[in-house]
């Protein structure tokens, strides 16, 4: 787990260093499927027409902007992330799309919102960061549960573990070699892509993630595998 001396926040340094290459590397490594997966997550977030929606650990803002573009009714969207360089790109994207989205700097371990404030919280490709061997994992889960209203929905799209053994071995090899070497080469940030490879290869199965959400207190929890299980879309109701 990477922590910066003097800054106890896990992963903070990694996510302050990667923004310039973050989007392009994502697009290349997933063959553009990350966009489609965020679209599915956005649709799931907006399905019940929530009024207040959070994009948790929003990074460069793709989920928030996708939701803003998709919504055909008034909705207030807030993106939160602890990396200001990521947020700068998110604000720029929202400007280009001419969408009003609040992007605020904050830590998922201590969300700056009152209890039961959101009807829905979505998180794309960051739940692994908040939960994989993260010393603050329990706080992150407790916080998202706290800021959702009773009956509110938590939507997670995240890399996952293919069920088929051969596909799983291939997926692990892919993230631990190709993604690692290419990510390091393009971004110059070896640590970030070693962490990505390791955390993705060792992350929860959808069943284990479902169990984690149930243990947090969520009631109805379900998931759907995407692209042979390389990713999964989870929903949980408070």
Ligand X SMILES: C[S@@+](CC[C@H](N)C(=O)[O-])C[C@H]1O[C@@H](n2cnc3c(N)ncnc32)[C@H](O)[C@@H]1O
Q: Which residues bind ligand X (CB under 6 A)?
A: 11, 15, 57-60, 62-63, 81-83, 86, 107-109, 124-126, 129-130
Q: Structure tokens of 80?
A: 């939160």
- When the beta carbons of 63 and 236 are compared against ligand X, the nearer one is 63
- When the beta carbons of 63 and 166 are compared against ligand X, the nearer one is 63
Q: Measured between alpha carbons, how far is 31 from 28 in angstroms, rounded to an integer? A: 5
CB of 111 to ligand X, least distance (A): 9
Coil, strand, or helix at residue 61?
coil
CB of 45 to ligand X, least distance (A): 13
- When the beta carbons of 132 and 218 are compared against ligand X, the nearer one is 132
- When the beta carbons of 44 and 81 are compared against ligand X, the nearer one is 81
Which value, in Å, is the radius of gyration of the alpha carbons in the chain? 17
Q: Which one-letter DSSP state was computed for residue 151?
A: E
Which H or E run contains 235?
Answer: strand 231-237
CB of 164 to ligand X, least distance (A): 25
CB of 176 to ligand X, least distance (A): 17
Helices (H), 49-136: 62-70, 84-96, 127-131
């Amino acid at each position: 787990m990477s922590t910066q001396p003097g800054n106890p926040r896990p992963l903070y340094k990694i996510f302050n260093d990667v923004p310039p290459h973050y989007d392009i590397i994502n697009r290349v490594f997933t063959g553009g499927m990350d966009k489609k997966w965020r679209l599915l997550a956005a649709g799931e977030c907006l399905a019940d027409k929530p009024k207040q929606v959070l994009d948790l650990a929003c990074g460069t803002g793709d989920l928030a902007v996708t939701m803003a573009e998709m919504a055909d009714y008034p909705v207030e969207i807030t993106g939160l992330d602890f990396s200001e360089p990521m947020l700068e790109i998110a604000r720029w994207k929202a400007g280009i799309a001419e969408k009003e989205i609040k992007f605020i700097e904050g830590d998922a371990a201590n969300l700056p919102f009152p209890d039961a404030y959101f009807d829905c919280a979505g998180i794309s490709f960051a739940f692994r960061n908040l939960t994989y061997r993260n010393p603050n994992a329990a706080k992150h889960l407790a916080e998202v549960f706290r800021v959702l209203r009773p009956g509110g929905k938590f939507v997670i799209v995240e890399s996952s573990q293919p069920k088929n053994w051969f596909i799983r071995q291939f997926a692990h090899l892919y993230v631990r070699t190709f993604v690692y070497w290419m990510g390091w080469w393009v971004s110059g940030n070896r640590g970030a892509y070693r962490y990505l490879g390791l955390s993705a290869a060792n992350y929860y199965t959808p069943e284990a993630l479902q169990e984690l959400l149930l243990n947090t207190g969520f009631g109805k929890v379900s998931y759907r595998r995407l692209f042979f299980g390389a990713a999964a879309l989870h929903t949980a109701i408070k």
